[in-house]
Structure 1
């Protein structure tokens, strides 16, 4: 570059810090950046630099950050002459070729090394070498296509080890469990089969992520011996058995067991801990919610979707002041208890108590999903006060009575599913006010009368209304007329008198019978010895 020739390095001879990260700089990196005699820290990360790393002669460098660019070719050999480096980040570039990991051990003062997301670079380990980094505290080798663990026996102060999204398989090596200094271990998205309880010897460990692996068998209570553990991520594995009782009284802030094959009931020993997130979605848990969960006063996220939990709506949940996801109460974001066996009426008092605070929540981050349960009775009118809702799913329950007119106040709603209930009466014309509505499903109820027209309602097809024999008008082929109106009025009279019509009974009986047979077979299959068959994950 012509501008490089004009650069008078004498003017920058005392420059110690050059921080140009997080900009839109492009082209090749000017060579003078690597020649400043007093430079201590050079941060050029998260730009759009291309080309090769120039030769480096700034031997005073202690911090070098080139991550998040589009640099190419081999890693410059001159980097390995920077004996004073304490920080080196080369992550997220397009480097190619191969490099021996032993070269990085030349940096005897190195404390943090980031080499993640370098899929085109081959990192070679010598199986007979125990790599020595006497001061290394953080090592990130994620998304590198690694097929083996580096031997890091001589890394006495390592705290952060990130090896996620590689091709590691089998069990974790013993040297890792013998590292007393480890605080964070991230081994997610590999093919590991190591038992969870092996990490019980890492007494300083605070964060352990083994999600998206091939872990089987149960979770041993020995993991509770890792008494410093605050975040335990075991989602998307094949773990079986019950949840250890001791985890309920541990010091965990986050417990994520989503998408496994855990069964039995939830622990009933929850105490006043720091638990903030409890994710048990997509397992085979059953029984009621333990009332001891009400002791978890810091709880913000409780996800129980797609289990076999049987309970009435727990009266104690509104006492949790920070609950956002189940998701709940004063600061409700997502309320999801779908595909369980909750019964009884939808809690009207809960709806009313949260409606005011709902208005403070961003409109793009609110959803209620109560589908696939046994809720009965009417939809509370208070639902219309939750004007931040963008998604509402009450399908596959036993709800009866009319659709509340107040639901037309949900002007931000994008998805509404009330299908497979026993709802009666007419579709309120107020629903036309939902100008953002993209998905509507009112099928398989006992609704009558003419379908409202206007706004988004002109875009919905027959399948939004099928299974309602009393409906007429566009988009259905049934036209509204005097004979149809008389039939609808008689049907409506019967519904108002008896609560529901014979069609809803027939549909409910038929769906219930099919659902019962399917679920009965499902439960039977799950309890057979072959229940370890592969299950898909998100």
Structure 2
């Protein structure tokens, strides 16, 4: 036996020597060397690529073509592989090389190429002619990997036409933008083993029936487009599949049982779809399953106790569904499980006291209804790296943490958790992310001790009863790797004397901490900061700050009184600025609009004055509400094609209505209330007038003429009904955590809303001089929740079409000259909470039933012709009508209108004088209350108040 082994080893050595001898005797073919070198000269290297953007996919990124020198053997060049016998180039791997440019056609000269990998060069662009020529010439290609290159002009379809496709084993075109149709011609290629088309939304997948017995084992069609009613069952005949990823494809209905035919599956990803129904128990018939991801669907019910048959399962992701009740016991018996994510469901009950996990590295159970105490195993597993139990109902005391391998720890919003701060946290030296909400924890938290965690990158602390920043010694603590620090809603002490160092801190948030006085020097000294949020404190002075690195600044809701006229003139990269709700003075900072980066600017509720520059460029948000700006509205705002939120309300602008804003297709909020705007609003004819507008408030101005009917007809976004029971979608910039905010007037009460959802559709045209009738077109704005036309000069009847506004919560038509009866259709507005029809000339019975039975007298006062509940005037067969006094009535009393007018004038003068005295001294009190101090009480809703929380109530509670 030993002799046989020796002979084998000798033969291997002889073969290796022969191999290298052959390799050294064949150099690169001249035509291929020339093609490769020409390929190099047509491309450039983007050195900024190597700053860490692609560390996960490209851990060894390097500009490989730098080793290519003309006149040398191309077989020795990095990324080039030659056949050991013929010397032909058979492999080209230039992945992660930061290449930029159009791919030259010389690549098609490599006719013997078997493997081509140009992946992760996002600056590389394919042309259709080059692509087709390569497919035509390279007839022996077995592997094509072009992930993250630009193939937007390329069609997938020609792949099935070329002879090379029969030799194709691997095709990977992830996130390339390639288009065309994926059919069975490609999926059934005889030797195709791996097909990856992830992230190509332009690909149409059309495979209703697959009748081939293909060799395909690895298939990823996530984020593509599936035509018709197709679902994952289309692939049940691909019985060799081991890897099937179909996430984000819009599938709905139940998960098809035919997937149980794929008996060799080890990886199954159906996440990010719209699947409904219960957990698919038939998946337990897939004995080789290692990875299962059903997250981001709408699955519900209890997770069945079927995991005893999935003994090979290592990763299970069920997050963002509607699973309920307790987790099954068989789940905690999976010895091989390394990752468990059941976050954001409705799972309840306690966790078991013991588990069989030996290799668990990730446990994410946040956002559920779990209760009981936190079991010790969650804090002591030796292999655990990621633990998040936030947003649950755990109670009692938390024990010391001994999972020293932890890198991520989340314990937030567990309101019934009590006890002292855990000193063992300072021994978790591997932590990179730490989220602690300490609302019911006691004791002093010594912030400098967190510097022991030298790997810490992200630190979030909130609710500390006493967070001491000042060090008890003179030692300067350094947080070497910390790049994000959030200290929220805590009782921070010793913060002025803090002397810690943050050499790499980019993100700092200290909001909601009642901090006072001047912003301290240790914050001023952070040269690496790009994000600074000091909102909701009581700062009074910012002093000079090195703005030049910041791209986000939020100082809102403080007491700062600096002059900001030249506040930001050294700000180079600021994109988001929120200085709202302060006492800032001065004129509008001209240097802000000179920068090219500014996107969102919020200066509302300050003491700024003067005129605005007319040089605005490309803003997304501009909010100047509640200042003293004057002059004309800047027409350059019409050039801000991407603007979403424009709020210039409550200033002193004096101009006509800005018709030049009408074609801003992204504009969702337009507030011009409380200015000196005047004139008629032209009824321009266009289908694009304010098409995206959700909030339109031009109240408290001097507009006249008829209501802008053409605008109302084109408010397309207000015709869309949003489900307020579902998670609200807000008008925000998710990238920057910036929330659009506004001051809205609801029932003549100004409220500040810090978040604005798409469902918050309101129109306020009140307190102007509008005339004429109310257009029926308002009835088409089905998304409206608030409509205010009060205090104008409107005439005619209340349109019956307003009964179509079934989402309406507030309707104010008071103080006009409306006539006729109250349409009975309004009684169908089940969500109506605020109604004011007072001070009009309405007649007839008040509708009964539903919400109308809950309104009080003040909703109808000043309409002498109305009768019925809740008024004391009963309705008879002869409904009371308002009538003008006749000449006969004048003769009866012996005088006409002239004596009455004279007497009225005299009485008015006397009354004004008497009233001035009464209100000056405040007595008699009963008279002051009767005429001047009457307050409208909020009506009781009774048993008919609707079940859902109104949007108004929701935002007030924020």
Into which bin does the TM-score normalised by the smaller protein fall?
0.7 to 0.9
Displacement of 1:341: 4.2
Query: Residues 318-337 of structure 1: matches in 2 within 5 Å?
Result: 318-326=662-670, 329-337=690-698
Alpha-carbon shift at residue 342 of structure 1 (Å): 4.2
Q: CA RMSD in A?
A: 3.3
Q: Retained in 2: the 8 A contact 1:363–1:389?
A: no
Q: Is structure 2 residue 710 aligned with structure 1 residue 349?
A: yes
Alpha-carbon distance change, 47 to 412 in structure 1, aligned in 2, over 3 angstroms: closer
1:186 to 517, 533, 541: 533
CA contact under 8 A between 1:53 and 1:75: conserved in structure 2? no
Q: CA 1:489–1:296 in structure 2 vs 1: closer, same or farther (change >3 Å)?
A: farther
d(CA) in 2 for partners of 1:400, 1:54: 71
1:407 aligned residue (802, 806, 813): 802
1:487 paired with 2:890, answer no
* Correspondence for 2:789 among 378, 394, 398: 394
User: What is the CA-CA distance between 1:134 and the residue it aligns to?
Assistant: 1.0
Contact 1:162 1:185 in 2 (8 A): yes
Q: For 1:236-247, what aligned pairs fall within 5 Å after superposition?
A: 236-247=581-592
Q: What's the counterpart of residue 213 of structure 1?
A: 558
Give the secondary structure class of the aligned counterpart of 1:223. Answer: coil
Which residue does the alignment assign to 1:65?
A: 410
Paired position in structure 1 for 2:515: 168
TM-score (ref. length: structure 1): 0.80
Out of 624, 627, 630, the residue aligned to residue 283 of structure 1 is 627
1:450 to 836, 844, 857: 844
Q: Which moved more, 1:371-380 or 1:389-398?
A: 371-380
The separation in 1 between residues aligned to 2:664 and 2:775, in whole angstroms, is 22
Secondary structure of 1:323's aligned partner: coil
Q: 2:598 aligns with which of 239, 246, 252?
A: 252
Matching of residues 125-524 of structure 1 within 5 Å:
125-126=470-471, 128-147=474-493, 148-149=495-496, 151=498, 154-195=501-542, 198-199=544-545, 201-250=546-595, 251-271=597-617, 273=618, 275-326=619-670, 329-354=690-715, 356-362=716-722, 365=759, 366-445=761-840, 447-455=841-849, 456-469=851-864, 471=866, 475=871, 477=873, 485=881, 487=883
TM-superposed CA distance for 1:155, in Å, is: 0.8
Cα distance in 2, alignment partners of residues 470 and 296 from structure 1: 51
SS at match of 1:193: strand
Q: Comparing 168-177 with 370-379, which one deviates more in the overlay?
A: 370-379
Q: Aligned partners of 1:266 and 1:226: how far apart in 2? A: 19
Between the aligned partners of 1:246 and 1:347, the Cα distance in structure 2 is 37
Contact 2:409–2:433 (8 Å) recurs in 1? yes
> 2:167 is matched with which residue?
none
Render the CA deviation track for 1:33-52: whole Å, top value 9, x for unaligned.
Answer: 33333332333333333333
1:151 and 1:333 mapped to 2: Cα distance?
46
* Distance apart, 1:3 and its partner CA: 6.1
Where does residue 739 of structure 2 map in the other structure?
A: none
Instruction: Encode CA deviations 1:145-193: one digit per residue, 9 max, x unaligned.
Output: 1243463552111011111111211111233223221121111111101
Q: Say if 1:212 and 1:237, in contact at 8 Å, map to a contact too.
A: yes
Distance between the aligned counterparts of 2:428 and 2:856, measured in 1?
Answer: 67
What's the TM-score, normalizing by structure 2?
0.47
The alignment status of 1:54 with 2:54, answered yes or no, reads no
Change (3 A) 1:210 1:316: same
Q: Distance in 2 between matches of 1:80 and 1:310?
A: 61
The alpha-carbon distance between structure 1 residues 387 and 46, as it changes in their structure 2 partners (threshold 3 A), is closer
Q: Higher mean Cα deviation, 28-37 or 153-162?
A: 28-37
The CA deviation at 1:294 is: 1.2
Q: Is the 8 A contact 2:351 2:370 kept in 1?
A: no
SS at match of 1:105: helix
How far does the alpha carbon of each residue in 1:318-371 deviate from its partner, in whole angstroms, 9 at most, with x for none?
A: 2110111226932332222333444444321111112x4432241652211122
Does the 8 Å CA contact 1:180/1:202 hold for their aligned counterparts? no
| Structure 2 CA distance for partners of 1:240 and 1:330, relative to 1, 3 Å | same
In the alignment, the residues of structure 1 paired with residue 631 and residue 819 of structure 2 have an alpha-carbon distance, to the nearest angstrom, of: 32
The more displaced of 421-430 and 330-339 is 421-430
Q: CA deviation at 1:205?
A: 1.2
| Aligned-partner SS, 1:203 | helix
Greater shift, 405-414 or 207-216, is seen at: 405-414
1:311 is paired with a residue whose SS is coil
Moved more, 205-214 or 471-480: 471-480
Determine the C-alpha separation between the residues in 2 that align with 1:418 and 1:226. Answer: 47
The answer to whether the 8 Å contact 1:309/1:341 transfers is no
The CA deviation at 1:31 is 2.4
Shift of 1:206: 1.8
Aligned twin of 1:34: 379
SS in 1 for 2:662: helix
Q: Deviations over 1:406-441 (max 9, x none)?
A: 333333322211222344455445544434433221
Distance 1:103 1:392, change over 3 A: same
C-alpha deviation, 1:276, in angstroms: 2.1
Superposed CA deviations along residues 57-84 of structure 1, whole A, max 9, x for unmatched, are: 3332222222232432222222212222
Structure 1's 371 and 56: CA in aligned 2 closer, same or farther, altered over 3 A? Answer: same
Q: Deviations over 1:460-516 (max 9, x none)?
A: 4432233345555652638678795482699xxxxxxxxxxxx9xx9xxx9xxx9xx
CA contact (8 A) 1:305 1:338 kept: no
CA distance in 1, matches of 2:360, 2:843: 79
Distance 2:878 2:571 in 1: 74
